[in-house]
Amino acid sequence: DGGITQSPKYLFRKEGQNVTLSCEQNLNHDAMYWYRQDPGQGLRLIYYSQIVNDFQKGDIAEGYSVSREKKESFPLTVTSAQKNPTAFYLCASSIRAGGAGTGELFFGEGSRLTVL
Amino acid sequence: SQKIEQNSEALNIQEGKTATLTCNYTNYSPAYLQWYRQDPGRGPVFLLLIRENEKEKRKERLKVTFDTTLKQSLFHITASQPADSATYLCALHTGGFKTIFGAGTRLFVKA
């Protein structure tokens, strides 16, 4: 079955550590996204990528980094510079990049990061 | 500033009734408005989208309306069931790379 796989489901981090969240898709989608979800707030865009080897900052990119070396993969690193990293992180993809298409997003099951 | 507002209070209804959720937005001109369902601890799942030139869209027991003058969308679930209990997210897609999400409304359907 096609879909998006995020791992790990739960992750604990000590202060000062970097952690990397994995996101893999087998939908052959061009665009991939990382969102952060906090209670009582809408999903906020961290980074997005339209094509391999290209990515753009979203609204809250500070303290995060990404790479897009393969079409299927878009890992997110939460660095020690992110001051409030405890959140639910969602990876998503869409068929096309750019203005074409309806923007329908396909989401993974999320990764919950807790800072100890 | 640009905002999407969904009722932050949970909606409690009886099984069989129609649930109506509201999404209001300001300072956007969305090309599409989307609705997603999210269960606790899981990723959102796309349900329906409606285009700016459409007034109403239906899919099985779901109906969405879109009033670009009022800047409002209503999402209806008819003949609601306990399995419909979830958080429903409204999202605006302006045709670029960004989809902007509301915080969601939690729906509880009692048997």
Q: Is the model's pLDDT at B48 over the cut of 50?
A: yes
pLDDT of residue A15: 87
pLDDT of residue A1: 67
Which of A4, A10, A23, A37 to mutate against chain B (most B CBs within 10 Å)? Answer: A37
Helix or strand or coil: residue B69?
Answer: coil
Residue B75 has which token pair? 């999402």
Q: Is the model's pLDDT at B43 over the cut of 50?
A: yes
Query: Cα–Cα distance between A88 and B47 in angstroms, integer?
Result: 21
Answer whether B97 sits within 8 Å of A104, measured CB to CB.
no
Question: Across residues B102-108, what is the average pLDDT?
Answer: 96
- Nearest beta carbon to residue B32 from set A90, A103, A106: A103
Asked whether B7 and B22 are in contact (CB, 8 A), the reply is yes
Query: Cα–Cα distance between A55 and B93 in angstroms, integer?
Result: 19
With CA atoms as reference, report the closest residue to B76 among B31, B11, B27: B11
> What are the DSSP E strand ranges found in A38-116?
44-49, 56-57, 64-66, 76-78, 87-94, 106-107, 111-115
Asked whether B97 and A31 are in contact (CB, 8 A), the reply is yes
Stretches in chain A below the pLDDT threshold 70:
1, 97-102
Residue B95 has which token pair? 């045709």
Q: Is the model's pLDDT at B1 over the cut of 80?
A: no
Out of A95-99, B23-27, B84-88, B96-100, the most confident range is: B84-88
pLDDT of residue A99: 47
Query: Cα–Cα distance between A55 and A64 in angstroms, integer?
Result: 12
Which residues of chain B neighbour A106 with C-beta distances below 8 Å?
46
Share of chain B above pLDDT 70, in %: 96
Taking the CB of residue B41, how many other CB atoms lie within 10 A of it? 11
Which of B97, B101, B106 to mutate against chain A (most A CBs within 10 Å)? Answer: B97
Answer whether A107 sits within 8 Å of B43, measured CB to CB.
yes
